[in-house]
Amino acid sequence: MAADGQFEYESVLCVKPEVNVYRIPPRASNRAVRAADWKLDAPDWTGRMRVTARGKVAYVKLEDKISGELFAQAPVEEYPGIAVETVSDSSRYFVLRIQDDNGRKAFIGIGFGDRGDAFDFNVALQDHFKWVKQENEFTKQAQAPDSTPKLDLGFKEGQTITINIGQTKKKDRTRPQSSGGLGLLPPPPGGKLAPPPSSKSTNHNTQPSTGGSDSGFLLDLDSSNSNSVAPSNSASTTSSDLWGDFDSVTQK
């Protein structure tokens, strides 16, 4: 893996100025590792930790604080995994599998004095391998043939499409209702309405019409002013005719 990525650039994921290294006892069973079994008050080495990435592989490097000389290195190809393990009793300590140039491997314990440094170390590895997972999925999708049916949106032979532009539905116009509760009266049965009598055509010498019952019924449909004028004229005309008849009798 290192030979394949030797021409790739190396990116720095995380740097912590101080980390403690502990020699841990061999694991007797499959039970979880506990940091309480280590000599936490007497670390075997203290230095700087630098987490880098070359391609898809991450490297946890333990270096001297002053000279930067490499003390140990742990290649990490997956996380969580056997290369970096957490302990069961603390979030500040981890088990690291280091490896030299000859391929020899050993397990050591590392710990941070600050809980925030341990959190940054954990997140740096998680983000890197989340990116590795996405890259692997993209590669599989590019290599796998697309078996899903493609959607054909083209027009078939002889197929047409109609587009209506500028045609809107006309709104129904409702007739406004009058503010009052009464509507228009229906026409009377039997014919047309007679026009109301005019004030100029009224004459005191005119004889009252014998068919006044029909006209009186029609006049009742007119306004109140027309009703008040018509009876007075007919009354005055009737009285004048009666006195005229009396005068004609006395003269004889």
Q: Domain coordinates of the chain in residue numbers?
A: 10-143
Cα 194 from chain centroid?
A: 70
Q: What integer pLDDT is reported at residue 140 of this predicted model? A: 83
- CA-closest candidate to residue 75, choices 91, 55, 46: 55
Contact call for residues 121 and 112 (beta carbons, < 8 A): yes
Q: What integer pLDDT is reported at residue 99 of this predicted model? A: 94
Cα dihedral across residues 110, 114, 118, 124: positive or negative: negative
Q: What integer pLDDT is reported at residue 201 of this predicted model? A: 46
Q: What integer pLDDT is reported at residue 139 of this predicted model? A: 85
Burial of residue 238 (number of CB atoms within 10 Å: 0-12, 13-18, 19+): exposed
Q: What is the CATH code for 10-143? A: 2.30.29.30
How far is CA 22 from each of CA 57, 69, 115, 172, 203, rounded to the nearest angstrom?
25, 19, 17, 89, 137
Q: What integer pLDDT is reported at residue 186 of this predicted model? A: 65
* DSSP classification of residue 36: G
Q: What integer pLDDT is reported at residue 156 of this predicted model? A: 78
Q: What integer pLDDT is reported at residue 13 of this predicted model? A: 96
Spans in the chain with pLDDT lower than 50: 1-5, 201-206, 208-215, 217-219, 221-232, 234-235, 252
